C-alpha cells in the first residue's frame, strides 16, 4: 500500500537511507511527528526552547545563520541534546546554487552544516546538479536531503510542473533525497508508466502549521495538524511560533505545554490516517 497508509515503523524497516530510517524510528518510539523550528537569535533562548521541547519532538529544525552569538560550542551542545532527547537535526539551509558551490556551502565556512545536520534541504531550481553536489558530501556521512517541492507562503511559485519536476529529480536520487518540503503527499507524482515507483517512500515535511492562527503578516499560511497529516498525507509537522511565540525570554512551561499540544494533535491525525 502507499507509504502514507503504512505506519512509521513499517516504513522505517524498509527505508534504505539511514537518516530517513532513524527519523521514522524516532517518530514511532517517541510517538511524535512534531518538528520544532527554533528561529530565535540568542543562543540562550534557542537552548531554553530545545530543552523544553526535546522529549516531544522527532526533529529540530534550525536556521543556524540567524543566531547572533553563534560559536562552535553551539554545535557541541546541539549534538549533546540531540543524543540526550533523541531527535535528529535539520538545517533549513535551502541550498540553491550550482553543484560545486553547494559542496562548499554544505561542508565549509563557519557552519560546516554537513558535520552536524542529519538532514538539510535544497531548492530544485538549479536542476539535478545541485543534488549531485550535495550528495558528494552528504552520502559518505549518511545524511539525507529534502527537496522543496511546495512552499507554504502565499503566492509561492512552487506549483504544477515545477513540483512534478522536483519529484522527478528526487526519484532519480532516492539514495540521498529522502523527501520533500511540501503541503501534500508526493509519491507517484509526475511518474510515467515506465518509472519504477514501487517501494518509493518520500517523507513529506510540512511547514506552515498552526492551531491558533491562519497566517502571519508576511504571507505565511497555516493549516492544522489534522489538515496536514490526515487530509493531505504529510508525515512531519513543522511548528515554530505556534510553540514559542516571539521566542524572547522564553517561558519554558508555556513552550512545553504548546509542544505537548502539537505533539498530541499531530499523533492523533497520524493514528487516524493509518487506521482507516
Ligand atoms: P513558523 O513560525 O511556524 O511560521 O515557522 C515556519 C518555519 O518553516 C520557518 O523557519 C520557515 O523558514 C520555514 N519554512 C516555511 O515556513 N515554509 C516553507 O515553505 C519552507 C520553510 Br521551505
- Tell me the average pLDDT across 2-19: 96
Cα gap 21→178, rounded to integer Å = 10
Instruction: For cell 517523507, name the residue.
Output: 203
Q: Given this model, what pLDDT does residue 122 score?
A: 99
**CB of 240 shorter than 6 A to ligand 1:** yes
Q: Given this model, what pLDDT does residue 199 score?
A: 85
pLDDT in tens, 16-54: 999 999 999 999 999 999 999 999 999 999 999 999 999
Confirm if 57 and 29 have CB atoms less than 8 A apart. no
Q: Which residues of 219-255 are buried (b: 16+ CB within 10 A; e: fewer)?
A: ebbbbbbbebbbebbbbbbbbbbbbbeebeebeeeeb
Cα gap 11→9, rounded to integer Å = 5
**Nearest Cα residue to atom 14 of ligand 1:** 207
94 classed as catalytic: yes
HEC string of 57-69 equals CCEEEECHHHCCC
Residue 8 cell numbers, joined:
512509521
Cα gap 13→261, rounded to integer Å = 28
Tell which wins on pLDDT, 187 or 158. 158
pLDDT in tens, 81-131: 999 999 999 999 999 999 999 999 999 999 999 999 999 999 999 999 999
Instruction: Name the percent of the chain lying above pLDDT 70.
Output: 100
**CB of 247 shorter than 6 A to ligand 1:** no
Confirm if 91 and 120 have CB atoms less than 8 A apart. yes
Amino acid at each position: 500500500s502507499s507509504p502514507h497508509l503504512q505506519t512509521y515503523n513499517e516504513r522505517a524497516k524498509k527505508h534504505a537511507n539511514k537518516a530517513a530510517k532513524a527519523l521514522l524510528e524516532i517518530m514511532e518510539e517517541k510517538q511524535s511527528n512534531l518538528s520544532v523550528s527554533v528561529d530565535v537569535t540568542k543562543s540562550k533562548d534557542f537552548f531554553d526552547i530545545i530543552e523544553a521541547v526535546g522529549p516531544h519532538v522527532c526533529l529540530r529544525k534550525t536556521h543556524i545563520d540567524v543566531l547572533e552569538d553563534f560559536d562552535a560550542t553551539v554545535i557541541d551542545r546541539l549534538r549533546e541534546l540531540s543524543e540526550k532527547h533523541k531527535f535528529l537535526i535539520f538545517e533549513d539551509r535551502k541550498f540553491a546554487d550550482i553543484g560545486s558551490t553547494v559542496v562548499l556551502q554544505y561542508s565549509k565556512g563557519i557552519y560546516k552544516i554537513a558535520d552536524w545536520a542529519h538532514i538539510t534541504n535544497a531548492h530544485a531550481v538549479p536542476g539535478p546538479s545541485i543534488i549531485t553536489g550535495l550528495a558528494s558530501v552528504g552520502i559518505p556521512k549518511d545524511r539525507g536531503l529534502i527537496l522543496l517541492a511546495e512552499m507554504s507562503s502565499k503566492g509561492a511559485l512552487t506549483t504544477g510542473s515545477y513540483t512534478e519536476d522536483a519529484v522527478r529529480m528526487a526519484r532519480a536520487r532516492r539514495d540521498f533525497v529522502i523527501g520533500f518540503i511540501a503541503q501534500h503527499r508526493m509519491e507517484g507524482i509526475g511518474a510515467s508508466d515506465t518509472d519504477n515507483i514501487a517501494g518509493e517512500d518520500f517523507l513529506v515535511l510540512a511547514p506552515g502549521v498552526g492551531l491558533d492562527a491562519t497566517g502571519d503578516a508576511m504571507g505565511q499560511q497555516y493549516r492544522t495538524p489534522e489538515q496536514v497529516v490526515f487530509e493531505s498525507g504529510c508525515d512531519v509537522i513543522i511548528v515554530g511560533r505556534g510553540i514559542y511565540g516571539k521566542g524572547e525570554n522564553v517561558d519554558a512551561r508555556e513552550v512545553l505545554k504548546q509542544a505537548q499540544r502539537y505533539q498530541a494533535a499531530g499523533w492523533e491525525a497520524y493514528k487516524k490516517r493509518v487506521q482507516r
